[in-house]
Amino acid sequence: MKTTERLDKILAHAGFGSRREIKELVKKGLVLVNGKPAKDSGQQVDPGSDTIEADGQRVDYREFVYLMLHKPPGYVSATEDNRDRTVLELIGEEYAHYELFPVGRLDKDTEGLLLLTNDGKLAHRLLSPKKHVPKTYYAEVLGLVTEADREAFRRGVELDDGYLTLPAELTIEEAAEPESGHLSRIRLTIHEGKFHQVKRMFQSVGKQVMYLKRLSMGPLVLDEGLGLGEYRELTAEETEGLRTP
Ligand code: URA
């Protein structure tokens, strides 16, 4: 595996400007490699073992970043949008240069686990229809969710466009009662990610999802310590878990 990288690439990644601007910093002697001024912005350095400082700051080089966001309602899962606020607007400036994007989509009104990364390969793998990565949701559903629904979801239901869903696991945590506002509380694990899938699955059995929250995606579980709109980097273990097929 390649361990060295061009100095200007590392600094550009770390947010020190364009290659030209970095060249200027190097010229001014403001970039130090192992304590000595760098001679050439194109020189090879090993970010794993060389210490790099630029403009008086220690450079922490990472190619990929992985953030777990507790998505609040009211934000769209996109990097840009003309009308709505995007989940990227919740992320601090210090991550701006990593060009993060959401891995898959949660509806604007859905809450819960959303992974943001700039690792295209990993995102592609997690979203691949062939991988059937399980996603578990908590939902509050208007009406009485029954054993018959559980069985229907286990066998697969036909959505409004004629698509037959893959087997999904439904757990009824609390069946609707008049006292609970006729809401049933459930968990549902699906192994695919069609547009509005959970809402449309309930629609197919004549019920309406009133509240939806994603709890997990593959081995990644929402950290309940994160409030709505809060995020944190994944631990090394969590990232490794996602990489393992
Ligand atoms: N299913 C839905 O209906 N909406 C989501 O946001 C995610 C899954």
* 50 plus 98 within the same structural domain: no
- Counting atoms of ligand 1 from 1, which one is nearest the CA of 209? 3
Nearest CA to ligand 1 atom 2: 196
**37 and 99 inside one domain:** no
CATH number at residue 27: 3.10.290.10
Q: Ligand 1 atom closest to Cα of 201?
A: 3
Q: Which of 20, 41, 58 is the last residue of a domain?
A: 58
* Whether residue 226 sits in one domain with residue 121: yes
Ligand 1: which residue has its CA nearest to atom 4?
196
82 and 9 share a domain?
A: no
Catalytic residue among 50, 81, 107, 109: 107
State the pLDDT at residue 13: 81
Same domain, 122 and 140: no
Q: How far is the CA of 76 from the centre of ligand 1 (A)?
A: 12
Average pLDDT over residues 70-94: 96
Task: Give the binding-site residues of ligand 1, using a 6 Å CB cut-off.
Answer: 106-107, 110, 196-199, 212
CATH of the domain at 123: 3.30.70.580
Q: Are strands 208-217 and 111-117 parallel, antiparallel or unpaired?
A: parallel
pTM equals 0.85
Residues 88 and 120 reside in one and the same domain: yes
Query: Is the same domain home to 228 and 212?
Result: no
Tell me what pLDDT residue 157 has. Answer: 98
94-147: per-residue pLDDT in tens? 898 889 999 999 999 999 999 999 999 999 999 999 999 999 999 999 999 999
To the query of whether residue 107 is one of the catalytic residues in this protein, the response is: yes
Instruction: Answer yes or no: do 145 and 211 share one domain.
Output: yes
Atom index in ligand 1 nearest the CA of residue 106 equals 6
Instruction: Tell whether 145 and 183 lie within a shared domain.
Output: yes
**What would the mean pLDDT of 27-34 be, rounded to a whole number?**
94
Q: Does residue 225 share a domain with residue 123?
A: yes
pLDDT at 94: 85
Considering only CA atoms, which residue is closest to atom 7 of ligand 1?
106
- Structurally, the chain folds into a number of domains equal to 3
pLDDT over threshold 60, residue 1: no
Do residues 119 and 224 both lie within one domain? yes
Q: Are residues 201 and 88 in the same domain?
A: no
Domain that holds residue 52: 5-58
